[in-house]
A and B are shown apart, each in its own frame.
Chain A
Amino acid sequence: RKEVEQDPGPFNVPEGATVAFNCTYSNSASQSFFWYRQDCRKEPKLLMSVYSSGNEDGRFTAQLNRASQYISLLIRDSKLSDSATYLCVVNTNTGGFKTIFGAGTRLFVKA
């Protein structure tokens, strides 16, 4: 089992749709969680951190469920510019720092 797993997609949605991505992680000692966005042939960029209480940034909402060991990202009112790969990142610093990226979920938003 991979340490961080994501549905690879692709997700093909029309503009204005709501789309949700999930990510599961295997290490219960994991401490911090992030969603990064990666455009085609570009570097990853932080989209948002994920807090235990859940957090929202405009059209984006991130949730963390520690009991079930998954995080989610909800995108409302999708825009064409949201088309990208969304990477889930899980960090641990117990017995040494470790950062694990998921393979990403690809999103295509169509007009």
Chain B
Amino acid sequence: DAMVIQNPRYQVTQFGKPVTLSCSQTLNHNVMYWYQQKSSQAPKLLFHYYDKDFNNEADTPDNFQSRRPNTSFCFLDIRSPGLGDAAMYLCATSSPDRDISYNEQFFGPGTRLTVL
């Protein structure tokens, strides 16, 4: 089945130790998104790629970076995780057949990050 895959599902890191979360998709969608969701809060968009074009949200901290080496893969790098970065990180994809705003997003199962 076509899907969005995130690895690992659970990640534990130490305060200040860089960590990379990965997302892959078999949907061949050209848009990929990264969200941060804290407990009982809304998913918050960090950035998205439209093909190779990177779009950063204005309030995304510099501590968060992303890479998209090809259509299928996208990575979230947290350079120096703080305790406040503990959250669920969700990857999503969409395939706009017209304006990007009109299309369903397909989410992966998420990676739950713990910072010690």
Q: A97 touches which one: B42, B100, B109, B110 (CB < 8 A)?
A: B100
- B41 CB contacts on chain A under 8 angstroms: 103
Write the chain A residue with the least CB distance to B110.
A43
Asked if residues B104 and A49 are in contact (CB atoms below 8 Å), the reply is yes
- A42 CB contacts on chain B under 8 angstroms: 109-110
Near A by CB (< 8 A), chain B positions 82-116 give 90, 99-102, 104-105, 107-110
Distance between A32 CB and nearest chain B CB, rounded to angstroms:
5
Asked if residues B107 and A44 are in contact (CB atoms below 8 Å), the reply is yes
Number of chain B residues whose Cβ lies closer than 8 Å to a Cβ of chain A: 22
Write the chain A residue with the least CB distance to B112.
A41
Distance between A49 CB and nearest chain B CB, rounded to angstroms:
7
Write the chain A residue with the least CB distance to B45.
A99
Q: B104 touches which one: A43, A46, A87, A98 (CB < 8 A)?
A: A46
Q: A93 touches which one: B35, B90, B99 (CB < 8 A)?
A: B99
A92: Cβ under 8 A from any B Cβ: yes
Mostly, the B contact residues are mixed
- B102 CB contacts on chain A under 8 angstroms: 31-32, 49, 91
Asked if residues A101 and B42 are in contact (CB atoms below 8 Å), the reply is yes
- A58 CB contacts on chain B under 8 angstroms: none
Q: B101 touches which one: A44, A99, A102, A103 (CB < 8 A)?
A: A99
Asked if residues A97 and B48 are in contact (CB atoms below 8 Å), the reply is yes
- A43 CB contacts on chain B under 8 angstroms: 90, 107-110
- A99 CB contacts on chain B under 8 angstroms: 33, 45, 101, 105
Q: How far, in whole Å, are A79 and B98 apart by their CA atoms in the complex?
A: 35
What are the 6 tightest A-B residue pairs by CB atom distance, in nearest-first order? A91-B101, A43-B107, A101-B42, A93-B101, A103-B42, A46-B104
* Contact surface of B with A, Cβ cutoff 8 Å: 33, 35, 40-45, 48, 50, 55, 90, 99-102, 104-105, 107-110
